[in-house]
Structure 1
């Protein structure tokens, strides 16, 4: 998180006092995802669907704002607006110029990011760090709005990676930060259910959806995630799934049902330890239970 690259353009100012909606889309482009390993062409379909969703968001209202991020195995970057100067894109007949800029800029910066990845080591996606960067971007735009303007901010995560218990603390930090900032987190899972991201959706009152078929990804994005949170109450959306609120232990980074909690720093462990590895607090080892000897009956 020390090498955060934010868009080079000036902070987008909100000059209108009308209600504005800001959508930050996080696209997981890590090639180690199972869906991409089996069929690399799925990434092209996901990118096209995300761009269509982004343009539909901008088409709803002229005041709407948009940002797209690519989450990789070693870094997370803004691909729209990119860290470099905006591309000089020629207008295509029959297409709105703003939509052309979103499409060309997103594909150009994503291709540049994928070509810069030379490592063949399979590592997990840095989704927690990407969400933290998105929250920083939202907080920066929040400071530019004029008095009386209302900004509805939300984050959409599109990923095919599995849940990573090693990032448990990072996930919890960004989830409760988003809840404090009134930022809704939505998750679109492409391959398997993600228990930690389910918790984030439930904490921030967002939507979680496991896509049944990748062929209908665009339809699910437009149907479920395009409407803003105030409008969703009036729509018939997929019923919420049961949230798995199991915590991950700090020793093995695995989800557990029952564990030991440090009374000082609230760290969770799957086995008892006399010393907390997080805050180094020393606990008294519980003494074994003493068994009272049974009284012998006196024979008469």
Structure 2
């Protein structure tokens, strides 16, 4: 979380008092993802698709704003706008200078982040922390916007990692915070089904999509996630799937169907325990039911 401070010159500048859309894209760059272990070149394809999608968002309206984060195994950082001074780029082959700056900044900062990864241990991605940083960034931009400017904010998570029940409480905290702030969370799953992030999409009113073919990632991003949430109701989008609302137990951090709930702090456990490990409440263990003696029949 020490990368949350962004220089003032990197913050979005509002030049209009009209409606503005802020999109924060979180890209999971953890090399321990199964699809990256099998084929490391997949990351290049995903980054190119995300850059094209981000530029399409900026192309929709001149007032639209963008931020891109890279979620890693040990840290999460903003790779656009970067923590350093913005790049001074010129027009190349007729490309718009802003698009060139987005592409170069994202690729350079992501390469620096990947170069710092030296550990070979397989660790999970810090997606919950990245979403929390995105919420803090949106809250900061919300405070600095001029009066009369309407800011519509949303977060898109692009990941190929599996579900992480150990971050269950962190996920629930950021999901309900986003719901209270009116921020939509969208999820694009590249490799595995993510039940916890699917819950976050349902809670915040976002869209969840498991990409059928990774080769068509850009097409799915432009089709499903490029339109604003108010416009999505008028489009033909993939039908919503049934949300898996299973909770993770507090003892083993595994998703369970049936468990025991503490009546004081509402902690969930997969096995009965006489003492709650969260709030240390001692439960009364019900004793065996008393067996009533049978009445003897009186012989006449």
The aligned runs of 1:1-300 (5 Å cut-off) are: 1=1, 3-10=2-9, 11-297=11-297
Give the 3 Å change call, closer, same or farther, for CA 67–285 of structure 1 in structure 2.
Answer: same
In the alignment, structure 1 segments of 5+ residues that lack a partner are none
Q: Tell me how far 1:148 sits from its aligned partner.
A: 2.3
Q: Tell me how far 1:7 sits from its aligned partner.
A: 2.7
Kept after mapping to 2: 8 A contact 1:190/1:214: yes
In the alignment, structure 2 segments of 5+ residues that lack a partner are none
In the TM superposition, what whole-angstrom CA distance separates every residue of 1:158-199 from its partner, at most 9, and x where no partner exists? 000001000000000000000000000000000111000000
Q: How far apart, CA to CA, are the structure 1 residues paired with 2:3 and 2:296?
A: 75
Q: Tell me how far 1:283 sits from its aligned partner.
A: 1.8
Give the 3 Å change call, closer, same or farther, for CA 266–4 of structure 1 in structure 2.
Answer: farther
Kept after mapping to 2: 8 A contact 1:275/1:283: yes
Of the structure 1 ranges 52-61 and 12-21, higher mean CA displacement relative to structure 2 is found in 12-21
Q: How far apart, CA to CA, are the structure 1 residues paired with 2:291 and 2:158?
A: 57
Q: Find the residue that maps to 1:197 and give its secondary structure.
A: helix
Kept after mapping to 2: 8 A contact 1:28/1:72: yes
Give the 3 Å change call, closer, same or farther, for CA 274–210 of structure 1 in structure 2.
Answer: same
Q: How far apart, CA to CA, are the structure 2 residues paired with 1:143 and 1:224?
A: 29
Kept after mapping to 2: 8 A contact 1:33/1:161: yes
**Backbone CA RMSD of aligned residues:** 1.3
Size of the aligned set, in residue pairs, is 299
Of the structure 1 ranges 119-128 and 13-22, higher mean CA displacement relative to structure 2 is found in 13-22
TM-score, normalised on structure 1?
0.96
Q: How far apart, CA to CA, are the structure 2 residues paired with 1:137 and 1:155?
A: 11
Q: Tell me how far 1:17 sits from its aligned partner.
A: 1.5
Kept after mapping to 2: 8 A contact 1:5/1:83: no
In the TM superposition, what whole-angstrom CA distance separates every residue of 1:247-288 from its partner, at most 9, and x where no partner exists? 000000011111111122111111121211111122222222
Kept after mapping to 2: 8 A contact 1:156/1:185: yes
TM-score, normalised on structure 2?
0.96
